[in-house]
Amino acid sequence: MSVDVAWALDWVRRSAEVVAEHRDELVELDRQIGDGDHGENLDRGFRAVVVKLDALDEPPATVGDVLKLVATTLMSTVGGAAGPLYGTAYLRAAKATGVAELDSAGVVAMIEAALEGIVARGKAGVGEKTMVDAWTPAAEAAAAAASGGASPAQVLAAAATAAASGAESTVPLVATKGRASYLGERSQGHLDPGSRSTQLLLEQAAAAAS
């Protein structure tokens, strides 16, 4: 399947479904090392995104148009850290995808822009037990796949696989950013909820392109 506007719309709807499906899991992960609202907030945000998609008078013209709608909706409906972080990620990604269809380099640019937005907003780096630990390997894997001649769908698949490994890598880490950092060494042994939701969203991006 082409990584185009239809793909972007499918990705968003799949994202809403997977977040709803894993809402309780994300709540529990966040309860262990945060304030417990990650799953609830994301679920509410993506439900609102779908409502806005359903209300559109005409289909978006570019991938970026879809991602901008996601960004503005999440920023206005999602509380906690997730709203600003994901909102900025989708907004930066939207600016990098103002075309009707993405080639492999375009997919890389989208993922890298999202990561840059998260880093700029959250001031976190790799190894600090945040969603950056999933987004960074995803961006690196996407770039490597594209440089090796992979198709856009294959680039997304590589990113999703790397995000899953990145999320898992947060379990032994000690959090040094966000609310989880207040726990110090007690944050070890827990999967970071933001990295887990990153994994879920990128997996749906790959699934929509398969």
Residue 179 pLDDT level (bands cut at 50, 70, 90): low
Residue 55 pLDDT level (bands cut at 50, 70, 90): very high
pLDDT of residue 177: 65
Domain 5-209 has CATH 1.25.40.340: yes
At residue 143, φ and ψ (nearest 5 deg) are -65, -40
Predicted confidence (pLDDT) at residue 104 exceeds the cutoff of 80: yes
Residue range 108-157, pLDDT digits in tens: 999 999 999 999 998 989 989 999 999 999 999 999 999 999 999 999 99
Cβ-Cβ contacts under 8 Å for 62 (sequence gap 6 or more): 5, 97, 98, 99, 100
DSSP 8-state class, residue 4: B
CA distance 149 to 93: 22
DSSP 8-state class, residue 100: S
Residue 181 pLDDT level (bands cut at 50, 70, 90): low
CA distance 136 to 116: 9
- Structure pTM? 0.94
pLDDT of residue 184: 67
CA distance 171 to 145: 26
SS3 101: strand
Predicted confidence (pLDDT) at residue 207 exceeds the cutoff of 60: yes
pLDDT of residue 196: 98
CA distance 7 to 186: 41
Predicted confidence (pLDDT) at residue 12 exceeds the cutoff of 80: yes
Residue 70 pLDDT level (bands cut at 50, 70, 90): very high
At residue 4, φ and ψ (nearest 5 deg) are -130, -165
Amino acid (1-letter code) at residue 153: A
